[in-house]
Structure 1
């Protein structure tokens, strides 16, 4: 591009023109050199060798125009390697569309990459043949920095919103569990008294029925020698179906007593879920508790589950050991019941920043996402009717919470060789109840 191309001869200048062609050329040179954009021209061929660069290149990039013109590959060689393929792939469109706009990073003389807004335009001669390509480079580094800062701020805000939402959900869960605990305590209190006297009455009734059956046996023996009396009593015995009643009444009483025993256990579990137990706080070895729990539930696991223990180094933990053993038992039994055929249960432990953690994982079928928020609610269970009360996890939740800890759970659907469901119990090494005291282990 030559500035004399822009000159107008005096003969061609209109009458009264205030300036001559050279003056306009000087003015045009001044405008180009002082515009915020770097103006450049290239040949309309594949190498895009520069044929003109405005003098403000030095102020913008630190290069002198003659330095940029001397290197035929200067433009390509200074584009950021990550941006170059995108530009090269679409440069041909300059010749079909006549104009293209790019944003890319360009290496300045000091080694920094500056973001550039580049507008390329194809110039053709009178016959339509490509003559040259004119480009206008504008430094948009500050704008890009602001965009990146706004994007980062947006991501940070989304993360903050996510944390607030998570905290809100945890608060709702805590409030719900507190309400359920109060409800459970009320139910346990109301049921406990009538269950007590019904259980007592059933014990007395069992004695009465036994005495009556003994009395009937005595009468039978007394009349055995009187054939006429035996004959008279035979129709009455047949109507009463005494043989069936004798066996059935004993079975009914035993089933009723067993049912009352189960109700008492449920009431006891509700009270444990709602209230702190009677045991003292003490320093305990949780590994011993885990091992003893495995011994207790060995029959539940035998022939079905292989247990993998990966114990870390645990300090003594200030706790109510018997209650934590109940938590371990509930989680291990649940893990075993989640495995349909044969599978594995893994117990891992560790300590971190004043906390200890106990992880119980299984290879069962996993927990459905819609059930994850409800598994700690009393009476909620996915087991068949009669197979569980739905109090094991709620009781465990209450015990761990009273110890100042928490239970985390993660689960993947689909039974397999991998560990699909993992419960992690987090406990502080020292009790959050300093008044409780801790005895020597």
Structure 2
């Protein structure tokens, strides 16, 4: 294009029009160069936009200048003979310029088409590669999913086995603690059994003697004496039994004085017998009966009949005591394999443990209960019983069998709070941070596994709760907090 413009006649080239054509041509060339730079950079959309905004207007400007150049050339040809054929020359020049521009435009379009085809081919190849990668990724994801499912299944069974193993560990700790209690529990069961045995023997003997004397009521007593006899028997059956000798002594003295005032024979012996059968007040209605010549068989009969009731009461108390011990033992030894929470009253589990330790507590440890009214909460009841067992057992050992054990319950800040306090020697500050560590114990070899408090802490944390200790000489308190809201607890297995 520059060559074509340079070949214009000198007479014309000196004019402003030639300068305009040269500048328009340079602008067109620069625009074409910039467009090729964009194409090389792969910015096809920007190149097309640039072609419309810069290249095409530059091309149109050149055509416009050339069109205006033709009349001017003809005018100059008329004035100068040397330029007679200038019109033809100019026409040829214009045709050459137009052809050159058209060729450049065609080349530009061809280059753009080649670039577009190249880009399309690259895009197709990229899509094919992407499709292949996607298929490979899907295969890998499927393989990984199967692998994860297999691992999850294996972990599930491992978790179940771990839960069972840890539950059995808790149960073994319970059984170990129960082993230390067997002698005391056996004694506690034998005591009511002995009372039952003694009472049944007394009842048998009393019944035999009563049957022997019953006919005497109708044979030896008048109608009024029979009425007085049964009234006296009824009063004896309704009286409160007196157990201690210290209670009997003042009653016997008072009764002896009354009998002497009525002029009855052997007032001291009579007072002893009357107190034994439960008659120690309001004697006036029975004075005439007590003055009967053959009084001993009547008092013996009343004594035997009242003794039947007393022995029956003893048997009932003994049975209740034995049943309570057996129930506590059964509740303690129960192993819940369901692994599910139950709605539990916390104090019932504490009372079960206190009942089992009754033989160790009754000889020198006073138990103080400070129970506030608690709602039932969802917990693992059997596991909490093990917590109370560990804490109460440690408290008894800390007090060496003598002292005061305090058990308090309350509701604070949406938690059930249980505090177990003993009056033992306390836990030294150096040891306190270690007491919840597995296998840590200060007891002699063979007397403790060192797992009690560690298991207790893990059980409480499994419930979403906390266990803390404060200790000084003469007072050690373990505080357990359990959330009222079951959503705060965990279903994870114990970790010891």
Q: Normalization by structure 2: what TM-score?
A: 0.31
**Greater strand content:** 1
TM-score by length of 1: 0.34
Structure having the higher helix fraction is: 2
